[in-house]
């Protein structure tokens, strides 16, 4: 059986003479099409030898059938890896689906910056080279109260750059309870080692006292670092000093305080039903020398790491050779500027900022949208699934406000004739792919993160 199938395989020459493949040679270089034909034939041959049957989706070993598979192979291999997706998971800042949705203002700003030449690093007044982060500096200082600001490509880069600038070769005091591991298995001790700073752990996992910091200071101490817990919480018998208390201790020893705020809240999240996250403005007011946070989480802009603080420290950071290696480009700058401007008009933030608009949606509103789909699907497939609206909870995601959720309404679909996992897989293969949750043999769709369009 295997031998018979293998003998039926068309040759590369036969395939190159087929009409479908000839059309492909008009779209791609001939060498590219030949390599695709060889790859497809190799995959078919391996499947026959392994299973004794044709691979899934291949109707026959005719030249036409194999040619269509070559066309599909090229289309899949050369299509963009990033495709628009439907986020029905209820995780608002979904790391796997691109984190924060950009506002229309940010999209417009990026489009304007990339349509042609732009004033990235040119001073219009003098015509000479200027700082690319000048406008970002102004916006961030106005929003946070900092003396100066800059940005790099993500918050891990911001942390490394700050430590490398202010404490390379010196000890940096950190509470053991703050030695977090962030997404992708990046751990704070390893980040610090990469920066050239020396980790000095103090306290215990659940309790670190102010005296622990004071007692750890020595002639080789370079800074005190506070790290936001980000994606976990310590509850119960737990204690750690406030940022203001750390600043007071540091001042008596003439040491800088660095505050890694993680998600970087610019507004009080209590307005949206969450517990308060550490706000950037509060750290600056407390007197930290430098604070850093993500630009693509609670800020809602493109991926970036924002650094704010005292002018002398920011100037040192800008002059570090690493700053050039980690700097952001025109698309990030344009998107961040447009996003930050939304925070200057708090009355419109809920309507114009996608993240805060999703925070603001009521369960009643979401329930109406879900019920409308239930009514429509009920008429289309009355015997093929159990469809209803159920109560649920949405998450912020990306390590922001962990362990907290907000009430939502979910469209629940229990399919008949297939498992919930099979339905979810089919949805992911849709165009565009749809990502949902599975719970108790039901596929759940959260309309908080499903956009109206």
Contact partners, residue 269, CB within 8 Å, separation at least 6: 275, 276, 277, 298, 359, 401
pLDDT above 90: residue 160: yes
pLDDT above 90: residue 335: yes
pLDDT at site 236: 64
Nearest CA among 448, 440, 449, 452 for reference residue 412? 440
pLDDT at site 345: 92
Give the predicted TM-score (pTM) of the model.
Answer: 0.88
Specify which of 71-80, 171-180, 351-360 reaches the highest per-range mean pLDDT: 351-360
pLDDT per position as a tens digit, 344-384: 998 889 999 999 999 999 999 999 999 999 998 877 876 77
Q: In whole angstroms, what is the distance from residue 157 CA to residue 164 CA?
A: 10
pLDDT per position as a tens digit, 14-73: 999 999 999 999 999 999 999 999 999 999 999 999 988 888 888 888 999 999 999 999
pLDDT at site 232: 59
- Give the mean pLDDT of 428-438: 94
- Beta strand 257-260 with 221-227 is parallel
Q: In whole angstroms, what is the distance from residue 354 CA to residue 92 CA?
A: 9
Q: In whole angstroms, what is the distance from residue 406 CA to residue 272 CA?
A: 9
pLDDT band at 233 (very low <50, low <70, confident <90, very high): low
Give the chain's mean pLDDT: 92
pLDDT at site 64: 92
pLDDT band at 194 (very low <50, low <70, confident <90, very high): very high
pLDDT above 80: residue 421: yes
Q: In whole angstroms, what is the distance from residue 295 CA to residue 151 CA?
A: 9
Contact partners, residue 423, CB within 8 Å, separation at least 6: 413, 415, 443
pLDDT at site 29: 94
What percent of the chain lies above the pLDDT cut of 90? 74
Q: What CATH architecture does domain 104-352 belong to?
A: 3-Layer(aba) Sandwich (3.40)
pLDDT at site 452: 87
Contact partners, residue 33, CB within 8 Å, separation at least 6: 16, 21, 24, 25, 70, 74
Break the chain down into helix, strand, coil percent, rounded to 5. 45, 20, 35
pLDDT above 70: residue 185: no
Nearest CA among 275, 180, 276 for reference residue 232? 180
- Give the mean pLDDT of 193-203: 94
Domain ranges of the chain: 2-78, 86-93+358-446, 104-352
pLDDT at site 382: 62
pLDDT at site 352: 96
pLDDT per position as a tens digit, 248-301: 999 999 999 999 998 889 999 988 888 888 899 999 999 999 999 999 999 999
pLDDT per position as a tens digit, 105-142: 999 999 999 999 999 999 888 999 989 999 999 999 99
Nearest CA among 220, 228, 229, 230 for reference residue 199? 220
Q: What is the domain class of 86-93+358-446 according to CATH? A: alpha beta
Angle between helices 155-167 and 188-195 (to 10 degrees): 50
Respond yes or no on whether the N-terminal peptide bond of residue 430 is cis (omega within 30° of 0): no
pLDDT at site 229: 77
pLDDT at site 7: 86
């Amino acid at each position: 059986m295997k031998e018979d199938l293998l003998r039926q395989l068309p040759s590369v020459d036969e395939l190159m003479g087929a009409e479908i493949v000839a059309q492909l040679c008009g779209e791609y270089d001939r060498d590219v099409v030949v390599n695709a034909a060889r790859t497809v034939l190799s995959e078919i041959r391996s499947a026959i030898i392994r299973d004794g049957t044709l691979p899934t989706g291949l109707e026959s070993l005719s030249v036409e059938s194999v040619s269509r598979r070559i066309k599909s192979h090229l289309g899949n291999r050369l299509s963009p890896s990033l495709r628009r997706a439907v986020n029905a998971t209820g995780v608002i800042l979904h790391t796997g689906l691109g984190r924060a949705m950009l506002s229309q203002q940010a999209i417009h700003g990026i489009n304007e910056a990339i349509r042609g030449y732009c004033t990235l690093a040119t001073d219009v007044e003098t015509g000479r080279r200027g700082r690319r982060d000048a406008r970002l500096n102004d916006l961030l200082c106005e929003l946070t109260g900092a003396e100066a600001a800059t940005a790099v490509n993500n918050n891990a880069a911001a942390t490394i750059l700050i430590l490398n600038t202010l404490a390379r070769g010196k000890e940096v005091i950190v509470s053991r309870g703050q030695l977090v591991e962030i997404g992708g298995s990046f751990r704070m001790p390893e980040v610090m080692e990469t920066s050239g700073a020396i980790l000095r752990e103090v306290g215990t996992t659940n309790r670190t006292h102010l005296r622990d910091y004071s007692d750890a200071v020595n002639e080789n101490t370079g800074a005190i670092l506070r790290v936001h817990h980000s994606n976990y919480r310590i509850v119960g018998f737990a204690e750690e000093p406030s940022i203001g208390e750390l600043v007071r201790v540091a001042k008596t020893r003439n040491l800088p305080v660095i505050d890694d705020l993680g998600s970087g809240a610019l507004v009080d999240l209590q307005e949206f039903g969450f517990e308060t996250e550490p706000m950037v403005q509060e750290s600056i007011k407390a007197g930290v020398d430098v604070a850093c946070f993500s630009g693509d989480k609670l800020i809602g802009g493109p991926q970036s790491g924002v650094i704010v603080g005292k002018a002398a420290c920011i100037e040192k950071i800008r002059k570090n050779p690493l700053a050039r290696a980690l700097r952001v480009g025109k698309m990030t700058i344009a998107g961040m500027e447009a996003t930050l401007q939304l925070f200057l008009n708090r009355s419109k933030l809920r309507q114009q900022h996608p993240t805060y608009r999703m925070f603001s949606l009521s369960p009643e509103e979401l329930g109406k949208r879900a019920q409308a789909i239930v009514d429509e699907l009920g008429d289309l497939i009355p015997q093929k699934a159990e469809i209803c609206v159920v109560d649920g909870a949405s998450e912020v995601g990306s390590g922001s406000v962990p362990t907290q959720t907000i009430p939502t309404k979910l469209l629940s679909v229990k399919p008949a004739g297939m498992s919930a996992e099979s339905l979810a897989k089919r949805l992911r293969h849709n165009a565009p792919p749809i990502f949902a949750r599975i719970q108790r043999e039901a596929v759940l769709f959260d309309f908080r993160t499903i956009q109206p369009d």
